[in-house]
């Protein structure tokens, strides 16, 4: 089993570095994400980017993974099946993203890893922590990897009146940097740490704005690998590339991003630049 895990790890993280393409936004945010670049709604367009852009993983929900199973297998791009999901149509302040598919489904679909979003800080955090920890156990017992999308979120994260010690630290950080609370180093590092404690092989977190603050996130999650989430498309390639440079300098294993790739007019151009930054060629 150890050897199998090692082999899968080398596929998603050759040289211990990952360059993952996320394509679950059609579910999480809806087709509005495709309006300006309608090609983005077409999965074959995305698979082509993943393959020609030399991505080391492609994140999907089960619907696309099943419909395009043969093409995904032929492309050679490792599949990461996202096991939970929620739409943005439901806007309660405390988010809950329930498990929709199983580890067994992921294995049947040929996935090398499973992904799961955890909203620590939500009033439903217990349930998500429990679901994710079970998923990690099962994934490991069946020889595949588990990746946590660690996004602390919910009413308590913003509630100044009953602020936790961590939130007080985050508020101080916010005062100095003007960052969104859920992107402050204290909050992001806490999410990353929870992912590691729950057993994740890799955690995907928001950028915290600087090399030093992201280094703290990487240290907090150690030995779990940390990858940066992309966020909305930046105005220029340079802005995004500079963020990636920062997180790599901070010790991140790489990136797991979507919109900053497939919403661009020339996705392969930025993919090549990212590959150069992450792998040096
Ligand atoms: P992006 O690089 O497009 O931001 O994708 C990363 C991701 O984590 C997706 O996997 C997920 O669908 C989305 O962000 C969630 O976004 P939000 O932060 O709005 O919940």
> For 81-135, what is each residue's pLDDT tens digit?
999 999 999 889 999 999 999 999 999 999 999 999 999 999 999 999 999 999 9
Q: Is the C-beta atom of 231 inside 6 A of ligand 1?
A: yes
Cβ proximity of 115 and 94 under 8 Å: no
- Judge whether residue 1 has pLDDT over 80: no
Residue 117, ligand 1, Cβ within 6 A: no
- DSSP assignments along 202-213, one per residue: EEEE---SSHHH
Whose structure tokens read 């915290």? 208
Which residues fall within 8 angstroms of residue 218, CB to CB, at 6 or more apart? 192, 226, 250, 251, 252
Is 151 one of the catalytic residues? yes
What is the Cα–Cα distance from 137 to 183, expressed in whole angstroms?
A: 29
Chain segment 152-163, per-residue pLDDT in tens: 999 998 888 888
Q: From the alpha carbon of 28, which atom of ligand 1 is closest?
A: 12
The most distant pair of C-alpha atoms in the chain lies apart, rounded to whole Å, by 54
State in Å: Cα 230 to ligand 1 middle. 7
**How far, in Å, is the centroid of ligand 1 from the Cα of 29?**
8
Ligand 1 atom at minimum distance from 259 CA: 3
Taking the centre of ligand 1 as the mean of its atom positions, its distance from the CA of residue 21, in whole angstroms, is 11
Question: Residue 127 CB: number of other CB atoms within 10 A?
Answer: 14
pLDDT above 70: percentage of residues in the chain: 100
Task: For the full predicted model, state whether its pTM sits above 0.95.
Answer: yes
Coil, helix or strand for 149? strand
Q: Which of 9, 82, 204, 206 is catalytic?
A: 204
């Amino acid at each position: 089993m150890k050897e199998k895990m090692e082999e899968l790890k080398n596929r998603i993280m050759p040289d211990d570095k990952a360059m993952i393409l996320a394509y679950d936004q059609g579910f999480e945010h809806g087709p509005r994400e495709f309006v300006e670049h309608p090609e983005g709604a077409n999965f074959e367009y995305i698979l082509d980017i993943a393959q020609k852009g030399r991505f080391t993983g492609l994140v999907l929900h089960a619907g696309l993974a099943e419909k395009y199973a043969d093409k995904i297998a032929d492309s050679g791009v490792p599949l990461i099946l996202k096991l939970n999901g929620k739409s943005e149509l439901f806007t309660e302040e405390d988010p809950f993203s329930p498990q929709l598919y199983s580890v067994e489904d992921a294995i049947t679909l040929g996935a090398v890893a499973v992904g799961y979003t955890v909203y620590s800080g939500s009033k439903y955090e217990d349930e998500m922590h429990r679901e994710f920890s079970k998923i990690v156990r099962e994934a490991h017992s069946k020889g595949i990897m588990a990746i946590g999308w660690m996004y602390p979120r919910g009413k308590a994260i913003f509630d100044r009146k009953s602020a936790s010690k961590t939130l007080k630290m985050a508020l101080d950080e916010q005062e100095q940097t003007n960052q969104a609370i859920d992107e402050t180093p204290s909050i992001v590092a806490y999410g990353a740490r929870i992912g590691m404690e729950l057993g994740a092989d890799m955690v995907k977190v928001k950028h915290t704005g600087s090399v030093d603050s992201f280094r703290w996130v990487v240290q907090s999650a150690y030995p779990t690998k940390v990858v940066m989430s992309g966020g909305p498309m930046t105005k220029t390639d340079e802005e995004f590339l500079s963020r990636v440079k920062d997180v790599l300098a901070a010790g991140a294993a790489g990136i797991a991003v979507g919109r900053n790739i497939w919403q661009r007019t020339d996705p392969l151009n930025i993919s090549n630049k990212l590959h150069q930054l992450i792998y040096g060629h």
